Amino acid sequence: MYDLKYLRENLDHIRTSLGRRGNDVPWTDIQKLSEERRAVTTQVEQFRYELNKGSEEVARLRRAKEPAEEAMVAMKQLGDRIKDAEGALRKVEEALTNSALRIPNLPHASVPVGADASENVEIRRLGTVPAFSSPPKPHWEVGDNLGILDFDRAAKIAGARFSVMTGAGARLERALINYMLDQHTTQHGYREVIPPFMVNRSSMTGTGQLPKFEEDLFRMKDEDYFLIPTAEVPVTNLHREEILSGDCLPLRYTAYTPCFRREAGSYGKDTRGLIRLHQFNKVELVAFTTPDRSYEELERLTGHAESILQRLNLPYRVITLCTGDMGFSAAKTYDIEVWLPSQQQYREISSCSNFESFQARRASIKYRPTGGKKETKTDFVHTLNGSGLAVGRTLVAILENFQQPDGSVEIPPVLRPYMGGLERIENE
């Protein structure tokens, strides 16, 4: 979200730049409320000024043992007017903030303009798509045949869009988590975090899930807690309402967490298998940088996510999301898509975004530049994050790409140390 002042002064510019992205923003209300806020603020401050002066006068009179009743009565009346004006100001600010929080981020100039996913732009394609002599099976069949995935029992104990992994399947999931975390912490310079898997309303607002997307979240019944839809939320909010020292930037964190999503609008999509679940595991990468280095950081971070796929020998491509397909909070997003042989298409396995100062403004995450003498003024950091990677979907890609004619699945060499040396998963 924008500073209310910046918003007032640049409303037309913001509106024009957002184009279609700003369609459901109540622009007229915002304009009216912005002006109103300024007027009422000035009024309140004028009153307070008079009150302060009057109170000082009362103090002076009393010290001088002079009668102060008249001044006190006048100040009493002024106090009532202030109360009214402040009440009006609070209402205006509340309404304005609520609307302003629903304005999406401005896309970066390098983002291709487009209406929907069909206008995303592929920028590179790596790895070799495997050839199969007979049609490759979908991962749920591969997993079922091996006895490592059990969707029937998942449905029994929880419901649709849940999974149960057992035996070598569970171990493979765990191996992936550990492998990813180890890579990011020892090779890419991230600090590992285990955050809460539930967060409060302020955190959800800080990263942009609220107020607009409450229906996508699982919420506790008796407490105002939400299950995290991604580790981005707790990890970015680590530094909410903080002023970071410029020389500690960039800060890079990685976190494994389960993720919980309602998937409210996706009935009928990806109903089988592990692709779209209410609960899935993900290893996340989060970075805080200075504004001048955030796009450099986006490339870096995307590269870190890609490196996992490269080491697993999984074929993938990277696309730039066009303006119409980007999320609410992002300024620029790269999606990494892995090849799924059973679907004969690339599917998202990671989404890496630069949010610029969008989240930092909402969550008030600033830094104080260091180096120059006078550069003590604070500025908002830029925040970034990306999946590194979605664990369940990585497991899907392994089951599908490395399935063998005999029904077994070959384990990528880098994971074998994490699997007790196991080279392939066979029916037990």
Partner RNA sequence: GGAGGGGUGACGGAGCGGCCGAACGUGCCGGUCUUGAAAACCGGAGAUGGGGUAACCCAUCCGCGAGUUCAAAUCUCGCCCCCUCCGCCA
| Catalytic residue list contains 416 | no
Residue 366 as a binder of RNA (CB under 7 A): the answer is yes
**Residue of 261, 300, 361, 362 marked active site:** 261
Which residue stretches of 289-390 are H helix?
A: 294-311, 358-363
Q: Of 254 and 357, which CB lies nearer to RNA in the complex structure? A: 357
| Catalytic residue list contains 70 | no
Residue 72 as a binder of RNA (CB under 7 A): the answer is yes
Which residue in 26, 54, 130, 147 binds RNA (CB under 7 A)? 54
Q: Which residue stretch of 70-78, 190-198, 345-353, 383-391 sits at the interface with RNA (rule: CB under 7 A)?
A: 70-78
- In whole angstroms, how close is the CB of 105 to RNA at the nearest point? 18
Q: Which residue stretch of 47-55, 247-255, 290-298, 325-333 sits at the interface with RNA (rule: CB under 7 A)?
A: 47-55
For 109, residues 6+ apart whose C-beta sits below 8 A from its C-beta are none
Residue with tokens 């106090």: 79
Which residue in 83, 91, 124, 191 binds RNA (CB under 7 A)? 83
Q: Of 269 and 373, which CB lies nearer to RNA in the complex structure? A: 373
Residue 62 as a binder of RNA (CB under 7 A): the answer is yes
For 145, residues 6+ apart whose C-beta sits below 8 A from its C-beta are 137, 407, 427
- In whole angstroms, how close is the CB of 94 to RNA at the nearest point? 11
Strands 191-193 and 251-260: parallel
Which residue in 51, 88, 155, 181 binds RNA (CB under 7 A)? 51
| Six token digits for residue 245 | 């020292």
Distance of alpha carbon 158 from alpha carbon 162, whole angstroms? 7
Q: Of 122 and 375, which CB lies nearer to RNA in the complex structure? A: 375
Closest C-alpha to 179, from 311, 280, 302: 311
Q: Residue 273 burial (CB < 10 Å; 0-12/13-18/19+)? A: buried
Residue 198 as a binder of RNA (CB under 7 A): the answer is no
Q: Which positions from 25 through 44 interact with RNA, judged by CB under 7 A?
A: 38, 41-42, 44
| Catalytic residue list contains 393 | yes
Amino acid at 111: V
Question: Are 310 and 318 contacting, i.e. CB atoms less than 8 angstroms apart?
Answer: no
Residue 373 as a binder of RNA (CB under 7 A): the answer is yes
Q: What is the DSSP string of 231-283?
A: THHHHHGGGTTEEEEGGGPSEEEEEEEEEE---TT-TTSS-STTSS-SEEEEE
Distance of alpha carbon 29 from alpha carbon 44, whole angstroms? 22
| Catalytic residue list contains 348 | yes
Site string (228-267) toward RNA, x via CB under 7 A: ---------------x------------------------
| Catalytic residue list contains 63 | no
For 306, residues 6+ apart whose C-beta sits below 8 A from its C-beta are 126, 316, 318, 336
Residue 427 as a binder of RNA (CB under 7 A): the answer is no
- In whole angstroms, how close is the CB of 417 to RNA at the nearest point? 29
Residue 55 as a binder of RNA (CB under 7 A): the answer is yes
Q: Of 75 and 398, which CB lies nearer to RNA in the complex structure? A: 75
Which residue in 75, 274, 322, 409 binds RNA (CB under 7 A)? 75
Catalytic residues: 261, 276, 348, 351, 393
The site for RNA (CB under 7 A) is made up of: 3-5, 8, 38, 41-42, 44-45, 48-49, 51-52, 54-56, 58-59, 62-63, 72, 75-76, 79, 83, 90, 243, 366, 373, 376-378
